[in-house]
Structure 1
Amino acid sequence: MLLTSPAEPSSNRKLAWLAVAIGAYLAVLMLPTPAGLSASGQVALGLLALVVILWITECVSPAASAVLLIGGAVLGLMGKPLVAGGAPMRSAEALSVMLAGFSSSAVILVAGALFLAVALRLTGLDRRVALLVMSRVGISAARLTVGAMIVGFVLALFIPSATARVGAIIPIMVGVTVALGLPVASSLGATLMIVTAQACSIFNIAVKTGAAQNLISLNFMQSSFERTVTWGEWFVTALPLTLSMSVVLFFVSLLLLRPQVPPAEEARARLAKEVAGLGPVTPAEWRLMLVAGLLLVAWSTEGWLHPLDTTTVTLVGIALLLMPRFGVMTWAGAEKQVPWGTIVLFAAGIALGILLARTGAATWLASVTLGQLGLETRSVVAVVGALSLFSIILHLGFASATGLASTLIPIMIAFAQTLPFGPQTIFGIVMIQAYVVSFGFILPTNAPQNMLCYGTGAFTTMQFAKVGVVMTFAGLGLILLLSATIWPMMGVL
């Protein structure tokens, strides 16, 4: 007789949470339809309950959560009209509604940018950049901290995945710490790892193409407001916030973590050896630098020197990198390293947001939650502060900023459109909330890059939270300050 081993406790927990998620979805569908909410809107809210539980507990993979979302939507929407007065949908029509997210230009942009990240990794250019920066900044606690932040910013310009960026940086930071004769869990190791994770979140705010949550937020904003934000507009608007938060991170990490650095001769020799081991810049790296530079120029001059949007420019760059002789990779070699599950999740998240908006569920949910705060009589600064605090608290339960953006931004758009402000102010309020989506500073579980750094064992949850709480309150204070001063002068609010 064959004996089967019992399932691992972790598998049992995941199965239990999956059952809870499906149960929550079914429970929402079986409730009486509230006044002001359509039957299809009730299905959308049930799907929202389903995926929030899936994303918070991570009981299934991101791609699996996307499949469950689409399948559940088709089954739930069958026989119901999408909008009031419409015809009941068949399964094919319901499926078409949920596949709308896959046709979004934002999904194409994410896929293209992930191929760019693969090119950096295949050529080794990401490692070269990180090593050169760390070897040039000098060996002291302050200089190494600045070096970690510079590396994070440079890579954020070209790598749209926080996980990929931090995955490239971690070995360098560990090497620097070990080269100084210190354990990874030393005060210096903890500082470099925490700064790497926190700086990644900060630079996610600054660079439009730096994080998937930016693109998913902009997709919803473009659909609702019928206007786009260029790469340069996003960067300039976010610049006062990201610069200020970078300065705060520098001083907070040094004051709270107090990293200690021993005499640095050995570290200099180790870093010099690592840089020398890279060898001369290869032709592939030169070609990649050329394409990356052209991309950066084209992104930053969008709508000014040329009419091409960010997605088109990115696709042209990827096409160049895939060309024979001039390119640096082949499709067969690159596709194996692209996280396709991330792309599927991204598209499904957009589909959910579209469904929430088209069925009126986002408007209804905004009215019964944010609408009860009485913000329609408050100033713009008070509205921005209240919505930002709401987002920050909600983020404590999310491990994915992409999931948070899919959930939150449609609700924010629906609520902002009920406020007695002009169109530009309403758009600016939502744009600021898109920045706040990246505020994953407090817990290691609030962002994948946090967990990567936490996995090195360099710091404790308490150390991370100590820095993160200060960063969060500082960020909230800066948002209020900028909303009252610089952003109105820039025409954002």
Structure 2
Amino acid sequence: MKKKDAIALIAAFLVLLIILILPNPDSLPLVGQRALAVLAFAVVLWVTEAVSYPVSAVMIVSLLAVLIGISPAIEDPGTIYGTSQGLSMAVEGFSSSAVLLVGGALVLATAMEITGLHKRIALYIMSKVGTKPGALVIGTIIVSFVLALFVPSATARAGTLVPILLGIVAAFGLAKQSKLAALLMITAVQSISIWNVGIKTAAAQNMVALGFMESAFGIDVTWGEWFLYAAPWAFIMSIVLYIVMVKLIKPNMSEIKEGVSITNQLKELGKISGKEWRLIIIAGLLLLFWSTEGVLHPLDSTTVTIVAVAIMLTPVIGIFSWKEVQRKVPWGTLIVFATGISLGIVLLATEGATWLSSNSFEILGVSSLPLVAMIAVLALFNILIHLGFASATSLASAFIPIVIALVGSMEPAAFNGPGLVLIMQFVISFGFLLPVSAPQNMLAYGTGTFTLKQFIKSGVPLTVIGYLLIILFSATYWQWVGLL
């Protein structure tokens, strides 16, 4: 273990211990204080990345099980929860349907990788847009959008796009440090962040928020509803991204002469295989059922996804075997995801989130602000604390329960509380400012194709405009469509 990681791990345990031994406020149940101590411990680990996220998940579950188990019950302070009930609460997120949805979507992404269909889609789109730098930017944004429909991991989408873009740059005889490489690479990861907002199944952090909302409000947001709410914002931001990028980085050529190289890369893939055709049909039907959930049929997104996974695993008509799947699906991601939901549920159940909300946002007068002003303040706070988180999933696990508690403490008829929570989740996917703001940014930054200065120059206007659009949509469109 590196020295800085060891120091961070020690710091996490010190923070945990300090909060545990602090005097317990009368307005906060002891079990709530202990849940907040685990939250602080988790935040230090997540921000510093002292240990891997799956390892942090196991540590968080262990601490929750023990600390809840030895705590007095809220309903009957004369008894303790017991570690059996504590463990049940600590793993409650693992039973969330959102975890199954993410797991199914990760299997779909694995099918794309095994068949190479994601690469074929990306190259096909890039081959059709033309060879001028501006056209390649448009192609990159379109590819990000299309992949977001089927690949639920921003890192996986970046893993698809980055090698293709590097190949294109190399085929044109340009260096990795060329302006064209920087232009395309920054565009790719920024558009990935944009469509994390626009599409429900594009990012795991969206499922974290929906898991909390299902637990707190008993509601589910369908794929189509999410698209109705968020896609217009993402479409506008995609246009903004194009304008920002072509103004920010101008390659030294007006047109790339060897655009045929993209076509050559596509030809090297050969004809579409039978497995690819079957995956195209399955993915197309899956998207159709997702987008018409609650309109043409009663099947929810998770059920449809699990059925699709079953079909893909079925011999003869399927795509792959279980042995192929289990080697490639990032199971650690599911563990982290489920643990994040569990932590949020515990914070709400133990009243820790409610207490934290009342002693932070409400003391600042957030709850007394007009709705749009409240969203503006919460969104700004959200953007600022994101600077300390490399994982949007972790940020959602820490922040969304607090927002739910804030909403729960306010007049129910004042506005649609779940809508405000959903808007805050949109802002959590803002990963525009720094390379460390999102894993996909770091993946691209590791290629050496762009500088920190170039990324920040694109990130600042995207963040500012995205934030202003959140406020504008809150005052207009989201009220018109019933989100607020």
- Give the TM-score category using the shorter length: over 0.9
| 1:72-221 mapped onto 2 (5 Å cutoff) | 72-85=63-76, 87-221=79-213
> Does residue 243 of the first structure (1) align with residue 235 of the second (2)?
yes
Displacement of 1:76 in angstroms is 1.6
> Does residue 29 of the first structure (1) align with residue 20 of the second (2)?
yes
Q: How many residues were matched structurally?
A: 483
| Alpha-carbon distance in structure 2 between the residues aligned to 1:68 and 1:289 | 40
Match of 2:384 among 393, 418, 428: 393
Which range moved further: 93-102 or 445-454? 93-102
Displacement of 1:373 in angstroms is 2.0
| Alpha-carbon distance in structure 2 between the residues aligned to 1:360 and 1:113 | 33
> Does residue 334 of the first structure (1) align with residue 290 of the second (2)?
no
Displacement of 1:342 in angstroms is 0.6
> Does residue 438 of the first structure (1) align with residue 429 of the second (2)?
yes
Q: Secondary structure at the match of 1:336?
A: helix
Q: Give a deviation string over 1:204-248, Cα, whole Å, max 9, x none.
A: 001111100101101111111111110000001002211111111
Displacement of 1:200 in angstroms is 0.5
Counterpart of 1:214, as a letter, is: N
> Does residue 69 of the first structure (1) align with residue 42 of the second (2)?
no
> Does residue 41 of the first structure (1) align with residue 71 of the second (2)?
no
- The answer as to whether partners of 2:189 and 2:441 remain within 8 angstroms in 1 is yes
- The answer as to whether partners of 2:390 and 2:439 remain within 8 angstroms in 1 is yes
Partner of 1:488: 479
| Alpha-carbon distance in structure 2 between the residues aligned to 1:377 and 1:52 | 28
- The answer as to whether partners of 1:180 and 1:261 remain within 8 angstroms in 2 is no
Q: Give a deviation string over 1:295-324, Cα, whole Å, max 9, x none.
A: 000000001111111100000001110000
- The CA RMSD over aligned residues, in Å, is 1.2
Q: Secondary structure at the match of 2:363?
A: helix
Q: Secondary structure at the match of 1:157?
A: helix
Match of 2:366 among 368, 371, 375: 375
Displacement of 1:262 in angstroms is 5.7
Counterpart of 1:329, as a letter, is: F
| Alpha-carbon distance in structure 2 between the residues aligned to 1:22 and 1:311 | 37
Displacement of 1:272 in angstroms is 1.8
Match of 1:273 among 257, 264, 281: 264
Identical columns (%)? 47
Please give the TM-score of this superposition, normalised by the length of structure 2: 0.98
CA change 1:248–1:414 in 2 (3 A) is: same
Displacement of 1:424 in angstroms is 5.0
Which range moved further: 188-197 or 251-260? 251-260
Q: Give a deviation string over 1:128-172, Cα, whole Å, max 9, x none.
A: 001101111001111000100111110100010111111011011
| Alpha-carbon distance in structure 2 between the residues aligned to 1:356 and 1:281 | 49
Q: Secondary structure at the match of 2:216?
A: helix
| Alpha-carbon distance in structure 2 between the residues aligned to 1:136 and 1:101 | 44
Displacement of 1:278 in angstroms is 0.9
- The answer as to whether partners of 2:131 and 2:256 remain within 8 angstroms in 1 is yes
Q: Give a deviation string over 1:69-114, Cα, whole Å, max 9, x none.
A: 0111122223213424253022222111111111111111111110
Counterpart of 1:356, as a letter, is: L
Counterpart of 2:432, as a letter, is: F
Displacement of 1:423 in angstroms is 6.7
Displacement of 1:195 in angstroms is 0.8
Counterpart of 1:245, as a letter, is: M
Partner of 2:45: 54
Q: Give a deviation string over 1:269-315, Cα, whole Å, max 9, x none.
A: 31121111111100000000000000000000001111111100000
- The answer as to whether partners of 2:361 and 2:367 remain within 8 angstroms in 1 is no
Q: Secondary structure at the match of 2:471?
A: helix
Partner of 1:321: 312
- The answer as to whether partners of 2:132 and 2:255 remain within 8 angstroms in 1 is no
Please give the TM-score of this superposition, normalised by the length of structure 1: 0.96
Partner of 1:477: 468
Q: Secondary structure at the match of 1:373?
A: coil
| Alpha-carbon distance in structure 1 between the residues aligned to 2:366 and 2:63 | 35
Partner of 1:3: none
- The answer as to whether partners of 2:12 and 2:40 remain within 8 angstroms in 1 is yes
Match of 1:366 among 332, 347, 357: 357
Displacement of 1:256 in angstroms is 1.5
Partner of 1:4: none
- The answer as to whether partners of 1:83 and 1:358 remain within 8 angstroms in 2 is no
Partner of 1:467: 458
Displacement of 1:260 in angstroms is 3.5
Q: Give a deviation string over 1:345-385, Cα, whole Å, max 9, x none.
A: 01111110000000000010011111122123321110111
> Does residue 233 of the first structure (1) align with residue 220 of the second (2)?
no
| Alpha-carbon distance in structure 1 between the residues aligned to 2:98 and 2:275 | 28
- The answer as to whether partners of 1:38 and 1:84 remain within 8 angstroms in 2 is no
| Alpha-carbon distance in structure 1 between the residues aligned to 2:326 and 2:420 | 38
Displacement of 1:337 in angstroms is 0.6
Q: Secondary structure at the match of 1:83?
A: coil
Counterpart of 1:171, as a letter, is: P
CA change 1:362–1:313 in 2 (3 A) is: same
Q: Secondary structure at the match of 2:174?
A: coil
Partner of 1:293: 284
- The answer as to whether partners of 2:133 and 2:256 remain within 8 angstroms in 1 is no
Counterpart of 1:59, as a letter, is: A
Partner of 1:454: 445
| Alpha-carbon distance in structure 2 between the residues aligned to 1:154 and 1:121 | 15
Displacement of 1:421 in angstroms is 5.4
